[in-house]
Amino acid sequence: MAAAETPELSAEADLSEKTQPSTLRLVLRNKAVFWGGLLLLAMVAIAIIGPFFTVAPTEQNVMSRLKAPSSAFWFGTDFLGRDVFSRVVHGGRISLVVGISVALIATAIGMVTGMIAGYIRWLDAPVMRVMDGLMAIPAILLAIAMIAISGATLTTVIVAITIPEVPRVVRLVRSVVLTVREEPYVEAAIAAGTRLPFILIRHILPNTIAPMIVQATYICGAAMLTESILGFLGAGIPPEIPSWGNIMSEGRTYFQLTPWIIFYPGVALALTVLAVNIVGDGLRDTLDPRIARKMRA
């Protein structure tokens, strides 16, 4: 075919995506990244700036309990007369903090572990068996149990959500390392007497960056969902903090009466996670078409 016949042409097109100069522009040219990013930016902006313009999310008003959405209360009020709009805006901060923290911690731990497992042969089997074991434990149940024992704080929630995400990152990094270490340019570096730490940092680590960014976005989205589920089940962040999960959990009892208490935070959450996932898909398509596609599961 055309591609097979002109390896110079195709190889160059392929590689130019990976070299530094045009990467950012290439990523922004992707429609999904652009629109998803715009939506995400809007949600982030609301979460950061919004709380300065709303009433306190904990301010109770017994006179106006369970009110339907109106011009005074855009998203209505809950059973204590608190303004749902204000609570949703504040909840955005919590969700984003959880999502971003989990993504960063999980990728950092996973990256180091994955590189070690992928490059140091005798450590590979034991590390991966532990990861297999960790993957077998249902994430939400483990998180609920850990939070139940340690007490519900923002930190325990983040830790409990992070642990089950680590094995996925480890597997991904390890598979990249295993592929890359067979590349002739890595072998050439070994033959040139380059020491192990430099082999890892110079020649192998850069190959994990792109799939890692993609994976981190997916983890961020998944962590926000898990946080909301934990909150909803009453096993998440302390109930006095207005996280989206907590708002919806409180709305459960009155669902038949006031469905908006679940509906608005639900939509806010879905939109944010959707934006994150769309950006993730777009990044995957531009940064790393091969590897991440297989590893999404």
Applying the rule CB under 8 A, the residues between 117 and 176 that interact with another protein are 129-130, 132-142, 144-146, 148-151, 156, 163
Smallest separation (angstroms) from another protein to the CB of 90 = 19
Shortest distance in whole angstroms from residue 186 CB to another protein: 8
Residues 18-47: x where in contact with another protein by CB under 8 A, - otherwise, as a string:
xxx---------------------------
Q: Which two tokens stand for residue 283?
A: 């990044």
Is residue 4 near another protein by the rule CB under 8 A? Answer: yes
Rounded least distance, CB 214 to another protein, Å: 14
CA distance 82 to 60: 5
Position among 5, 24, 52, 53 found at the interface with another protein (CB under 8 A): 5
Give whichever of 17 and 61 is closer to another protein, judged by the CB atom: 17
* CA–CA–CA angle 196, 201, 205 (5° rounding): 120
Residue whose C-alpha is closest to residue 104's, from 201, 200, 212, 207: 212
Of the candidate residues 42, 56, 59, 296, the single one contacting another protein (CB under 8 A): 296
Beta-carbon contacts of residue 99 (< 8 Å; ≥ 6 apart): 220, 221, 223, 224, 227, 276
Site pattern 190..229 for another protein (x: CB under 8 A): xxxxxx--x---xx--x--------------xx--x--xx
Among 84, 269, 287, 291, binds another protein (CB under 8 A): 269
Write a three-state SS string for 245-288. Answer: HHHHHHHHHHCCCCCHHHHHHHHHHHHHHHHHHHHHHHHHHHHC
Near another protein in 228-267, by CB under 8 A: 228-229, 232-235, 248, 255-256, 259, 262-263, 266
Give me the residues paired with residue 77 across strands.
83
Residues 45-104 that bind another protein (CB under 8 A): none
Cα R_g (the chain), whole angstroms: 23
Q: Give the integer Cα–Cα distance in Å for 231 and 266.
A: 12
> Among residues 108 and 134, whose Cβ is nearest to another protein?
134
Give the residue with the Cβ less far from another protein, 3 or 56. Answer: 3
Picking from 273, 264, 224, 235, the residue whose alpha carbon sits closest to that of residue 98 is: 224
Minimum CB distance to another protein smaller for 250 or for 281:
281
Residue 246 and residue 239 in contact, taking contact as beta carbons nearer than 8 Å? yes
